Amino acid sequence: SEFAVKSAKLFLKSWKTFQLCRENYNSVTGEGGGQRYQSWGPLFALILLEEFIDFCPFDGFRVGNLAAAKKNKIENIDIRGNKYTLEADNQGLVLFRDQNKLFEYKGKAVLRDIEVSKKRISFEANVISDAVDFYPSMFKKKSFKVKLDGKKAGKKKGFVRISQGTVKVVLER
């Protein structure tokens, strides 16, 4: 996370001051140099973006808020034909798909391999804080069944608390 923030700051300093996408950056001063508008320059900012939201072959669809020191909003992220908006800070995260709220959670975590259908959501949660309170918007105010690491954990309404550590979560109506 720290590396991602530093990388984005490197790129944004030159971009905000000169509207230049630099090719190289001085390792001592951080000043941009080299060819202007090289296509790989924005990858510095991409590193930070991918700390919040990403889709990759190994972890599938992934979101997290570990890099958030203050309120962040990332909009218009196209993943698998849907447009996502993510709001994250050091207290939690809210995810929207096509302008509809999918879920939110309070606490620090990374959710990997997220799969969502009308009656089911599943993911692997890596919870960093003591716990995360997860609020699936898709179930509105109806109760839903919970499985944690493949074991039934009863029915919940509104939210489910996920303890610190890594756990596979399945919620369904």
Name residues whose C-beta falls within 8 Å of residue 125's C-beta, 6 or more positions apart in sequence: 109, 110, 111, 132, 134, 162, 166, 167, 168, 169
Own/partner pairs for 77-80, CB < 8 Å, 24+ apart?
A: 77/53, 79/53, 79/55, 80/55
Judge if 19 and 65 occupy the same domain.
no
Judge if 73 and 28 occupy the same domain.
no
Range of the domain at 2: 1-41
pLDDT tens by residue, 6-49: 887 777 888 888 887 877 777 788 777 776 666 677 777 788 78
Judge if 102 and 160 occupy the same domain.
yes
Q: If you write DSSP's letter for every residue of 86-118 in order, what string do you get? A: EEEETTEEEEEETTEEEEEEESSEEEEEEEE-S
Q: What angle do CA 169, 143, 80 make, to 5 degrees?
A: 50
Counting the structural domains of the chain, the total is: 2
Judge if 129 and 59 occupy the same domain.
yes
Judge if 146 and 108 occupy the same domain.
yes
pTM of the model: 0.83
46 assigned to some structural domain: no
Cα Rg of the chain, angstroms: 18
Judge if 60 and 19 occupy the same domain.
no
pLDDT tens by residue, 76-115: 999 999 999 999 999 999 999 999 999 999 999 999 999 9
pLDDT tens by residue, 110-165: 999 999 998 999 999 999 999 999 999 999 889 999 999 999 999 999 999 999 99
